[in-house]
Structure 1
Amino acid sequence: MSLHQRRDVLEKLAALFGTASVAGLPFREENGEILTGVVDRIVDDLAVVLLEDDGELVDQTTLPVDELPGPAKEEGTVLELVMDGDDVDRVRYDKPETERRREEAEDRFDELAD
Structure 2
Amino acid sequence: MVTDGTYTAVIDRIEDAHAVLLIEEAGRDVDELVIHESKLPFELREANLVVHIALEGGVVKSVTADDEATDERMEDAQSRFDRLAQRPPESKEP
How many aligned positions are there? 83
Runs of 4+ in 1 over 6 A off after TM superposition: none
Q: TM-score, normalised by structure 2?
A: 0.77
Q: Which runs of 5+ in 1 are unaligned?
A: 1-31
Structure 2 partner of 1:40: 12
Q: Select 1:53's aligned residue among 19, 22, 25.
A: 25
Higher strand share: 2
Give the 3-state SS of the residue equivalent to 2:83 in structure 1. Answer: helix
Greater relative contact order structure (CA < 8 Å, 6+ sep): 2
The AA in structure 1 aligned to 2:15 is V
Give the fraction of aligned pairs with identical amino acids, expressed as a percent: 36
Unaligned runs of 5+ in 2: 87-94
* Greater fraction helix: 1
> Structure 1 counterpart of 2:61, which letter?
D
Q: What is the rounded CA distance, in whole Å, between the counterparts of 1:33 and 1:53 in structure 2?
A: 12
Answering whether residue 71 of structure 2 is matched by residue 99 of structure 1, we say yes
Partner of residue 45 from structure 2, selected from 38, 60, 73: 73
**For the pair shown, which has the larger CA radius of gyration, 1 or 2?**
2
Question: What is the CA–CA distance in structure 2 between the aligned matches of 1:50 and 1:88, rounded to whole Å?
Answer: 15
Q: Which amino acid aligns with 1:94?
A: D
Q: Is contact 1:81–1:88 with CA below 8 Å preserved after alignment?
A: yes
Report the aligned-residue RMSD: 1.6
